[in-house]
Structure 1
Amino acid sequence: MVDVAQVFADLVRYETRLYNVLGERLRAEHGLTTAQFEFLRIIGGRDNCRVNDLAHEVAITVGATSKAVDRLEAAGWVSRRPNPENRRSSLIVLTDEGRRLMDAATPTFENELRIWLADPLTGRSLEQLAGTVAVLRRTVEAARVGMPTG
């Protein structure tokens, strides 16, 4: 019988350590954190990205997301432009500098994922893990649980 409490502990501890090792490499080689990289990756992958979109994607508060975007903007990696569909919000886009940083940091990020996520597993195991994690994510998102308040 599977000890689901142990599965939870293993999953959380693995995620924390993976996040940390990614952050160490990104910081050392590109001067950015894992969170900054993830925000840049999300912004760069959307045509019309708003603070609310980022907050929903990474499951943090709008206030924390807005402050993070402020820091990205101060670093010169993103800019805000008026949202033509809603004057109360802005659209966030990568600057040329932000795009260059993403292009430089992506191979580092992907290499670390290969080392610590893909290489320890067989191709079939990685496919099963990807499918399982996707099901779990969809389950909590569909139930609208685990989102921060405030």
Structure 2
Amino acid sequence: MRKAKRTPAGTALTDMILDLFRLNNRLLSAGDRLVAEVGLTSARWQILGTIAAAERPQPVAWLARDIGAHRQNVQRIVNELAAEGLVSFEPNPHHRRAALLVLTDKGKQVFEHAMHLQVPWVNNLAEDLRIKDLETTHKVITGVLRKLEGDGL
């Protein structure tokens, strides 16, 4: 069997993907440290942020889809957040068993505190980086993401 060879673009993308894996791990660790004082982890912060950014309350399955995570993992985190009074479940008029998630007042306060901590942190990370480079990188990442989502890979 002939060994397949990567194209130059395939090699460059592989290198970028490996660095993105490392970056993701570092971001999760840094995020955990950043929001620990408000009782969050990066995963919990991501869930709160996705709920806060949604145009309307969503069920867990939609939330999981939006962040590209497994529903069971999101459900576990949502249950923890609900037990701490950060989110609540509202009846879903379209589906009896798929309740809608909303931030409680406490959840909004915790999320806002986390975002307040994020501003100087992200500004420091962005220091000395060119906006044009960041925008180009963002376009590349979203382009690869769209391909993955479109192909179902």
Same structural fold, with TM-score higher than 0.5 when normalized by the shorter chain: yes
Report the Cα offset of residue 84 of structure 1: 1.0
Q: Does 1:115 align with 2:124?
A: yes
Taking structure 1 as the reference length, what is the TM-score of the superposition?
A: 0.87
Name the CA distance, whole Å, in 2 between partners of 1:127 and 1:93.
Answer: 32
Percent identical: 27
Name the CA distance, whole Å, in 1 between partners of 2:138 and 2:68.
Answer: 19
Give deviations 1:111-131, integer Å, cap 9, x for gaps: 323323x22411111111111
Give deviations 1:85-117, integer Å, cap 9, x for gaps: 11121000000000011111112123323323x
Contact 1:22 1:112 in 2 (8 A): no
Contact 1:81 1:90 in 2 (8 A): yes
Q: How does 1:8-27 map to 2 (within 5 A)?
A: 8-27=17-36
Name the CA distance, whole Å, in 2 between partners of 1:120 and 1:8.
Answer: 23
Report the Cα offset of residue 7 of structure 1: 2.2
Which residue of structure 1 aligns with residue 100 of structure 2? 91
Which residue of structure 2 aligns with residue 55 of structure 1? 64
Taking structure 2 as the reference length, what is the TM-score of the superposition?
A: 0.85
* One-letter amino acid of the counterpart of residue 82, structure 2: E
Contact 2:47 2:74 in 1 (8 A): no
Which residue of structure 2 aligns with residue 106 of structure 1? 115
Which residue of structure 2 aligns with residue 34 of structure 1? 42
User: Which 4+ runs in 1 deviate beyond 4 A?
Assistant: none
Structure 2: state its 5+ residue gaps: 1-7
Indicate the structure whose relative CO is greater, using CA pairs within 8 Å and at least 6 residues apart: 1
Q: Does 1:71 align with 2:63?
A: no
Name the CA distance, whole Å, in 2 between partners of 1:125 and 1:142.
Answer: 26
- Other structure's SS at 1:79 match: strand
Name the CA distance, whole Å, in 1 between partners of 2:119 and 2:77.
Answer: 23
* One-letter amino acid of the counterpart of residue 106, structure 1: M
- Other structure's SS at 1:57 match: helix
Aligned length: 143
Contact 1:78 1:98 in 2 (8 A): yes
Which residue of structure 1 aligns with residue 53 of structure 2? 45
